[in-house]
Amino acid sequence: MSELMEQARDMIVSFKGKRYAFGTGVLDRIGPMTAQVGRKALLVGRVSSPWLKPALVQLLESLNTNGVEILGQVQGAAPNAPREDVYRIHGYILHKRPNVLDQRPPP
């Protein structure tokens, strides 16, 4: 690991703790980390983006392999989270009742 990556990791761990994952291979680590917190997940984000599909497939495989059930996928909020988007996402959460939320980063 390069010195710069080590510094970045140390900064993130000091700020977020050891339950935060980043860097190479992170998608494969999401399943085991998620399974420690809950077994029913709702994915929130740009779930229909074609460029994100390979990463989404890898993420779903990691979650599935670790016994995390995907209750659904919901499109995330637009920039500055318009009230309508927040209500829509809130409705999905109330309906699906996940114990884990996974937010996809914007493109």
pLDDT in tens, 47-85: 677 888 898 899 999 999 999 999 988 888 888 889 999
Residues of the chain above pLDDT 70, percent: 93
Cα–Cα distance measured from residue 61 to residue 58, given in angstroms and rounded to the nearest whole number: 5
Predicted model pTM: 0.72
The residue-averaged pLDDT of 5-28 equals 81
4 pLDDT above the threshold of 80? yes
Task: Kindly state whether residue 55 falls inside one of the protein's structural domains.
Answer: yes
Assess if residue 8 is contained within a domain: no
Residue type, 46: R
CATH code, domain carrying 85: 3.40.50.2300
Hey, CA dihedral for 49, 53, 55, 57, is it positive or negative? positive
Which residues form the domain of 68?
A: 26-103
Helical segments of 17-98, H only: 26-35, 53-65, 83-96
pLDDT at 103: 58
Rounded Cα distance, 80 and 31, in Å: 29
Residue 38 lies in a domain: yes
